Amino acid sequence: MESLPATLLDGQLVMAGKLPSREDIARWAGISLTQDWNEDSTQPRCCRIPRMP
Protein backbone atom coordinates (compact mmCIF):
# COMPACT_ATOMS: atom_id res chain seq x y z
CA MET A 1 0.00 0.00 0.00
CA GLU A 2 1.46 3.36 -1.04
CA SER A 3 0.43 6.15 1.29
CA LEU A 4 3.51 8.32 1.75
CA PRO A 5 3.82 11.12 2.58
CA ALA A 6 1.76 10.87 5.73
CA THR A 7 0.73 13.95 7.71
CA LEU A 8 0.02 13.66 11.43
CA LEU A 9 -1.70 16.23 13.61
CA ASP A 10 -1.63 15.65 17.36
CA GLY A 11 -0.72 12.02 16.68
CA GLN A 12 -3.67 11.47 14.33
CA LEU A 13 -3.33 10.73 10.63
CA VAL A 14 -5.00 13.63 8.80
CA MET A 15 -3.70 13.10 5.26
CA ALA A 16 -1.89 10.38 3.35
CA GLY A 17 -0.65 10.05 -0.21
CA LYS A 18 -0.05 13.74 -0.93
CA LEU A 19 1.45 16.84 0.60
CA PRO A 20 -0.98 19.14 2.40
CA SER A 21 -1.78 22.48 0.80
CA ARG A 22 -1.53 25.80 2.61
CA GLU A 23 -5.32 25.72 2.84
CA ASP A 24 -5.21 22.31 4.55
CA ILE A 25 -2.63 23.50 7.08
CA ALA A 26 -4.58 26.70 7.78
CA ARG A 27 -7.80 24.72 8.29
CA TRP A 28 -6.09 22.36 10.75
CA ALA A 29 -4.58 25.34 12.60
CA GLY A 30 -7.93 27.11 12.73
CA ILE A 31 -6.72 30.21 10.92
CA SER A 32 -7.77 31.88 7.68
CA LEU A 33 -5.45 32.67 4.80
CA THR A 34 -5.07 36.15 3.41
CA GLN A 35 -4.82 36.95 -0.29
CA ASP A 36 -1.03 37.13 0.15
CA TRP A 37 -0.93 33.35 0.63
CA ASN A 38 -3.17 32.35 -2.28
CA GLU A 39 -1.49 30.55 -5.14
CA ASP A 40 -3.08 32.89 -7.69
CA SER A 41 -1.74 36.04 -6.07
CA THR A 42 -0.76 38.76 -8.52
CA GLN A 43 2.07 39.91 -6.28
CA PRO A 44 5.54 38.63 -7.22
CA ARG A 45 7.02 36.00 -4.98
CA CYS A 46 10.47 36.25 -3.51
CA CYS A 47 11.80 33.82 -6.12
CA ARG A 48 10.37 35.79 -9.04
CA ILE A 49 11.84 39.16 -8.14
CA PRO A 50 14.54 40.02 -10.70
CA ARG A 51 18.02 40.18 -9.25
CA MET A 52 20.52 42.89 -10.00
CA PRO A 53 23.48 41.72 -12.13
pLDDT in tens, the chain (53 residues): 568 999 999 999 999 999 999 889 999 999 887 755 555 555 555 666 666 66
Where along the chain do its domains lie? 1-31
Q: What is the pLDDT of residue 8?
A: 94
pLDDT of 27 reads 92
- DSSP letter, residue 19: P
Q: What is the pLDDT of residue 34?
A: 73
According to the model, what pLDDT value does residue 9 have? 93
Cβ-proximal residues to 32 (8 Å cutoff; 6+ apart), any chain: 26
- Smallest CA-to-CA distance from 22 within 10, 13, 35, 11 is with 35
Question: What pLDDT, on the 0 to 100 scale, is given for residue 50?
Answer: 63
